[in-house]
Amino acid sequence: MVTTGALLYGDVERHLRFDGMEQPVICQLGGSEPAALATSARLVRDWGYAGVNLNCGCPSDRVQSGRFGACLMAEAGLVADCIKAMQDAVDIPVSVKCRIGIDDQDSEQALSDFVGQIAETGCRSFTVHARKAWLQGLSPKENRDVPPLDYQRVQRLKQANPQLSIALNGGLQDLASCQAALDWCDGVMVGRAAYQTPWMLSDVDTLIYGDRDGNQRDRWQVAANMANYADQQASLGVPVKSVTRHMMGVFNGLPGAKAWRRYLSTQAHLAGATGDVILRAADLVARATTEEA
């Protein structure tokens, strides 16, 4: 997620640059001013993103002070104006990410009205975090765990709006739970589980899309690929630690995973670090795996 202010007044390349191998990529915007969102959506389009998404789900205090995120669920009319401005500005898909409710505004009717008013603009894609957000009293971290999940409410939203694409977000810990949700919704968004145990995604092609060949790579091949990527990014001024900090969970569940995390944590931030840090860390896992076998 990047704010409109960061794009309009900051380093656009830093915020929007990505590698073509990552496509399709959608950029999520945070903002509440239709004109600013329209301009930002054009930048997103010009940088080659496959779509743009409006954040109506983040509950942090910093986001609320900027009048965007989950607090926008109380202003469906404004959200509709924002979506319309973005749609008029670009020809890539425009979508919305939201919660099932906020504070005391958490009735099923309120969610239905919110989605319905936005859908009148022609927006057809919604990702719904199946927890309400408490804008007062809970931290962002607590808002990811404390409010109970209510998948049934999202399911009823989909049943009432078969013409809309409704994706489920929140509490999906493995591909089995994703498959179960896909029996009734159009998509799933996996956040923390994909970040903490990213190797779960290696089975997506086989289990979700029916690709019998599946993923033929192993974790060490991925590490080698990421070492090359880290060196490429370093040539653009990106520190190696900015790559490795997101790779801590790659070997979770294998002997040596702790050594992998420790090595990356202590070595990637050092001056002159290169992609070899990743290769050396991966070798620690290989040795530990061999020893246990």
pLDDT at 137: 77
Catalytic residue among 58, 71, 82, 185: 58
pLDDT at 184: 97
Q: Could you tell me which residues come within 8 angstroms of residue 35 by beta carbon, excluding any fewer than 6 positions away?
A: 85
Active site residue 58: yes
Please say whether the beta carbons of 179 and 203 come within 8 A: no
Please say whether the beta carbons of 126 and 88 come within 8 A: no
Distance, CA of 231 to CA of 239 (rounded, Å):
9
Distance, CA of 27 to CA of 48 (rounded, Å):
10
pLDDT at 136: 79
> Alpha helices of 127-239 — where are they, by DSSP H?
140-143, 151-160, 175-181, 192-196, 204-207, 219-234
pLDDT < 50 regions, the chain: none
pLDDT at 7: 97
Enter the pTM of the model. Answer: 0.92
Distance, CA of 44 to CA of 29 (rounded, Å):
9
Q: Render pLDDT for 127-170 as a digit per residue (tens, 0 to 9).
A: 999 999 888 777 777 877 888 999 999 999 999 999 999 999 99
pLDDT at 212: 76
pLDDT at 65: 58
Q: Which three-class secondary structure state does DSSP give residue 28?
A: strand
pLDDT at 173: 94
Largest CA distance in the chain: 62
Distance, CA of 44 to CA of 49 (rounded, Å):
6
Set out the domains of the chain in order of their start, with CATH numbers.
2-170 (3.20.20.70), 219-292 (1.20.120.1460)
DSSP codes of every residue in 214-261: -----HHHHHHHHHHHHHHHHTTT--HHHHHTT-TTTTTTSTTHHHHH
Distance, CA of 96 to CA of 22 (rounded, Å):
21
